[in-house]
């Protein structure tokens, strides 16, 4: 999104500071300040939650805790989830952030590009988690800095009772919303964040879902417990076999300038596969750098 610069003109999204980066983002309730430092030590990015992770009656205290802790939080690795536009909590959340160095927010239940536009001067991770939000994902992505999707509020908004089947897989409507958010973010050229995995004991299921997320194109997966962080990081880290295959593709492409398609190891390789290989090598380099 854009905000005003000192001369009153637009500032391109992310120009003043980069969007927080890393594959494992972690929610932390803002009314639990004793957890802030532990969350920051565990995850790549911490999302301090002023919305659903905090009981309504505890939200004033959560805002006070956030303001008190702001001096020790790393703005480059901290996101604040604020309440939906049009709610009293939203206005109070915005007031709590005033004059703080924390400039990246996650807007809960984002439902239009116009809502994002009200957050001028902030970097915005738009959370598309309602029927209207999923419907408007493409327009929302065009004015946001990143896009996340959510299943539980979506299903509740549709009148359903569960986003997942008994075997843990998402129902088709949730899978559709996930794909819509990913494609909208990709078309807008911004990162897409995969939604949370709520079964804390099913680390194998989390690993499978995180692997699918990175191989589909998500930039990160959001966690709800520190124990999920290393699982997500392992899933997002390319394997040695993947890296070797990618190197072979890139090297082979470099030795064949002007050739549109070629065979390598019994497989046809064309420009999309070369781009995928380059992206994987770039991701590996950034994770080790």
The one-digit pLDDT tens for each residue of the chain (289 residues) are: 443 333 233 333 333 456 777 999 999 999 999 999 999 999 999 999 999 999 999 999 999 999 999 999 999 999 999 999 999 999 999 999 999 999 999 999 999 999 999 999 999 999 999 999 999 999 999 999 999 999 999 999 999 999 999 999 999 999 999 999 999 999 999 999 999 999 999 999 999 999 999 999 999 999 999 999 999 999 998 877 878 788 888 888 888 877 778 888 888 888 888 888 888 787 777 655 4
Q: Return the closest-CA partner of residue 128 out of 114, 147, 105, 152.
A: 147
Q: Return the closest-CA partner of residue 159 out of 173, 142, 147, 179.
A: 173
Contact between 60 and 92 (Cβ < 8 Å)? yes
The C-alpha atoms of residue 79 and residue 104 are separated, in whole angstroms, by 5
Q: Where are the alpha helices (DSSP H) in the chain?
A: 36-42, 59-69, 88-97, 113-117, 131-135, 137-142, 152-158, 172-188, 203-216, 229-236, 240-254, 271-288
pLDDT of residue 286: 63
> 203-216 and 229-236 helices cross at what angle (nearest 10)?
40
């Amino acid at each position: 999104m854009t905000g005003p610069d000192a001369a009153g003109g637009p500032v391109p999204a992310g120009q003043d500071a980069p969007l927080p980066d890393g594959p494992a983002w972690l929610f932390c309730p803002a009314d639990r300040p004793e957890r802030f430092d532990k969350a920051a030590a565990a995850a790549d990015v911490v999302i301090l939650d002023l919305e659903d992770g905090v009981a309504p009656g505890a939200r004033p205290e959560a805002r006070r805790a956030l303001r008190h802790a702001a001096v020790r939080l790393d703005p480059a690795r901290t996101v604040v989830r604020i309440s939906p536009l049009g709610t009293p909590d939203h206005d109070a959340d915005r007031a709590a952030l005033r004059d703080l160095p924390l400039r990246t927010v996650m807007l809960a239940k984002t439902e239009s590009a116009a809502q994002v536009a009200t957050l001028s001067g902030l970097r915005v991770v738009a959370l598309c988690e309602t029927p209207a939000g999923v419907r408007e994902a493409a327009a929302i992505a065009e004015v946001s800095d990143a896009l996340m999707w959510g299943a539980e509020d979506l299903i509740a908004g549709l009148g359903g009772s569960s986003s997942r089947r008994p075997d843990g897989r998402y129902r088709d409507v949730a899978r559709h919303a996930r794909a819509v958010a990913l494609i909208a973010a990709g078309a807008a050229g911004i990162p897409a964040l995969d939604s949370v995995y709520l079964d804390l004991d099913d680390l194998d299921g989390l690993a499978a879902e995180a692997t699918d997320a990175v191989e589909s194109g998500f930039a990160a997966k959001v966690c709800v417990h520190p124990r999920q962080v290393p699982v997500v990081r392992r899933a997002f880290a390319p394997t040695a076999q993947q890296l070797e295959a990618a190197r072979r593709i890139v090297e082979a492409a470099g030795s064949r300038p002007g050739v549109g398609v070629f065979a390598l190891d019994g497989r046809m390789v064309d420009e999309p596969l070369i781009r995928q290989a380059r992206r994987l090598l770039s991701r590996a380099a950034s994770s080790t750098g």
